[in-house]
A and B are shown apart, each in its own frame.
Chain A
Amino acid sequence: MNGDSPATAGRSSAFIVSARKRKLQKITRMAGESTLFLIAAVVAIIVLFIFYFVARDAVPFFQIRGFSEFFTKTDWYPADDPPRFGALAIIYGSLMVTAGSALIAVPMGVSAAICLSDVIPFSVRQYVKPIIEMLAAIPSVAFGFFALVILAPLLQNFGGPILMWTWWLIASPFLLLAVIVVSELLSTSIQDDSRRRVVQRILVAVFGLLSLLFLFFVGKHLQEIQILTGTNALNVSIILSFMALPTIVSVSEDALQAVGRDLREGSYALGATRAETIVKIILPAASSGILAAVILGIMRSLGETMVVWMASGNSSHVPEPWYNYLESVRTLTATIAGDMGEADQVTGSARFHVLFAMGLLLLVISFISNFISERIVVRQRKVLSGQ
């Protein structure tokens, strides 16, 4: 630091570096840097290798059977003679459970992250966040076992009441909020204060009654549903959403924290309430991080194998109607896991290669969504920095 000062030269001789030492330092630095670079490169190369080897074994399938059957037919009979490899229902099954789990995990995860970062006190958060992250440490086979042995019979025996209570629990707070907001909005045009309050009360009463009826009748309808098989898309979606939750909560909470005190305090200083600050300032500022969290969570659901293999029922058909989550489905990952045993080069090559085609499809899907999320993050950053 002050090696150039003659007065302190004696004391800080450690900082005066001889030519030999400088050379040694340079060499060690280069060695260190190149080691790190090599490790980083190996990771990138591994990804490329996986792509290459999966593609190498996937291409022969398309050469033998072409594209149209795989992507447009729903007949999956790989062991029959002649075999049929229509994977549309299986692809659909994968997308269906992924979408289902995202529908549950994203609102829950993002809300939990907001709660952790901006609502509950720091001392509580310190304990709650590790507990949520512990969900990620549960092995997926344990989740699968739970889904198969506990959740599936529960859904079969008490499916209707479970659906009804879930509907009531989820819908009632939202409807309550909606009733209040709508009556407020409809009565803003009335100038007179006392008259407005009366109108508001009447509106709340009317809408409240209507929404109560709505809640009740939909619940009644749901209660009558008899779930035929507990190993279905709903079961898997619920379990997958639990598995995606820790990722979504943890990463989006980090993103919300990264927004920083200055924006929050600026917003409060301008007179914004906490709700306004969260919705209008923090969420937009953290949106790219939250999006990354969501995509990570969705990828977790799409790639999960053990749970879907155990709990989805594995029946390769498109549910009727298409949005029926109460029917069994089969996913790409479960098919690869389940059929790998029989399908080697010895017993028929198309059957072996079709599994790689599915693997390639999964890789391509995750590659594309990663790419899209990357683009959105970059664009968001540009918008936020005012370009």
Chain B
Amino acid sequence: MKLFKKMLYSAAVFGLVASADASAAGNKIVIDGSTTVGPIAKAFAAHFTKSTGVQVTVSESGSGNGAKSLINKSCDIADMSRPMKDNELEAAKSRGVNPVENVVALDGLAIIVHPSNRVNGLSKAQIRGIYMGRFTNWSQVGGPNAPIVIIQRESNSGTQDSFKELVMGKDNPISKRAETQASNGAIKTRVASTPNAVGFVGLGFIDNSVKALLVEGVEPDARTVKNGTYPLHRALFMYTNGQPAGVVKQFIDLPKSVEGKHMISEIGFVNYY
């Protein structure tokens, strides 16, 4: 999967190099970045190509790679599930790139467990305790007597960064025993097949195969994310080099349109506009 993404990514890079003129002429958009924003970008791309005839290439290589691509000018839009970091902004400036933040949608970070798990909700402190390795048994947080299997994302994931920022805080490293999976989908698959597992995914990835926990007693859904009562929420971004213009602006403005809003809520995310 990872390799496939890398191949897509490099294909996108080569494609851009080969068709640099076409891109400048404005009939092609190259998008790279977060696997969380990916589904939105893909849905937009399909819609956009159908309505305007502009080719849109979407790669999902993680937020960090998206930022890298934008800095290296190998994509027009960088999907990111976290804001750009200071060192990325500095690197961009040194290469003459001016990243502009465009919010696409809002997302909640859902804490998911196996459907058979008795636990229905956790507090942020309990989640932090589990991921730090302080709680190692479900009975310590009101569940059955079974060891906890912690699952996290790899280090270039924006979801991982959001989780660290929203839940862990700066000085609390995630336990060394935590397993690592490469995508939201992989985490969902592992949790769905592992009775004692806990993981975190974007709101759009929840389905019947896993159970999303209440956090601080609040259910993760579109309403609670939009009104800010669900504690683990974040904004999803599409970064552009400079203020978007031309077809890129048309694309970036999709979330404000009726169809765009419909697509976003269809996929399971929350409208920002």
Contact = CB atoms under 8 A, between A and B. Distances in A.
A89 B190 CA distance: 23
A364 to B, nearest CB: 25
Contact of A74 (B161, B176, B178): B176
B173 A317 contact: no
A316 interface: yes
Interface of A is mostly: loop
Given A316-B176, A330-B180, A339-B154, A230 B194 contact: yes
Contacts of B181: 314
B88 A347 contact: yes
Contacts of B176: 74-76, 89, 315-317
Contact of A78 (B1, B155, B193, B196): B155
B2 A337 contact: yes
A228 B61 contact: no
Contacts of B196: 228-229
B98 interface: no
Q: Of A229, A328, A343, which is in contact with the most chain B CB atoms at under 10 Å from its CB?
A: A229
A341 B61 contact: yes
Given A77-B173, A314-B180, A339-B155, A346 B197 contact: no
A344 to B, nearest CB: 6
A231 B179 contact: yes
Contact-size category for A: 35 or more
Interface in B115-138: none
Interface in B35-91: 61-62, 64-65, 68, 71, 85, 87-88, 91
Nearest to B5: A341
B27 to A, nearest CB: 29
B3 A141 contact: yes
A341 B155 CA distance: 9
A193 interface: no
A114 to B, nearest CB: 37
A283 B189 CA distance: 47
A342 B179 contact: no
B182 A309 contact: yes
B229 interface: no
Given A75-B173, A81-B170, 5 more contacts: A230-B193, A317-B177, A341-B154, A346-B68, A347-B91
10 contacts: A76-B176, A230-B193, A230-B194, A231-B179, A309-B2, A316-B176, A317-B176, A317-B177, A347-B85, A347-B91
Interface of B: 1-3, 6, 61-62, 64-65, 68, 71, 85, 87-88, 91, 147, 149, 154-156, 160-161, 170, 173, 176-182, 189-190, 193-197
Interface of A: 74-81, 89, 141, 148-149, 152-153, 156, 228-231, 306, 309-310, 313-317, 327-328, 330, 337-339, 341-344, 346-348
